[in-house]
Amino acid sequence: MESVVTTDPKTLGGTPCFAGTRVPVKSLFDYLEGGHTIDYFLRQFPRVKRAQVSAILDRSCRNAEHEAITAATR
C-alpha cells in the first residue's frame, strides 16, 4: 500500500495521504459521502491517480467484509 498511501509526521501531522500528494485519504470518503463521483474527486485532485482510489476502495471493501464476517461469528 505504500505506493497508494503514505504517512509522514511532517506532512499534515502524519495524516494518511495519497502517495505523492498532500491529499488526505479521508477526503475521498468525504467526497463520496457528499454524493460526488470518483471522477469529480479526481478532477479536484489531479495528482491522485485512479489506481490509488481503486486500491483504497478495494482495501476498504475487504476490511468491511472481514469485520462483518468476524462480527457474525462471535
Residue type, 62: R
Distance CA 37, CA 14 (A): 26
**Full domain range(s) for residue 35:** 5-72
For the record, the C-alpha cell of 73 comes out as 461469528
pTM above 0.75, yes or no: yes
pLDDT at 32 over 80: yes
pLDDT at 68 over 80: yes
pLDDT at 4 over 90: yes
Mean pLDDT of the chain: 94
- CATH code at position 33: 1.10.10.10
Distance CA 24, CA 29 (A): 10
- What pLDDT is stored for residue 2 in this prediction? 67
- What pLDDT is stored for residue 65 in this prediction? 87
- What pLDDT is stored for residue 69 in this prediction? 87
Q: How many domains does the chain have?
A: 1
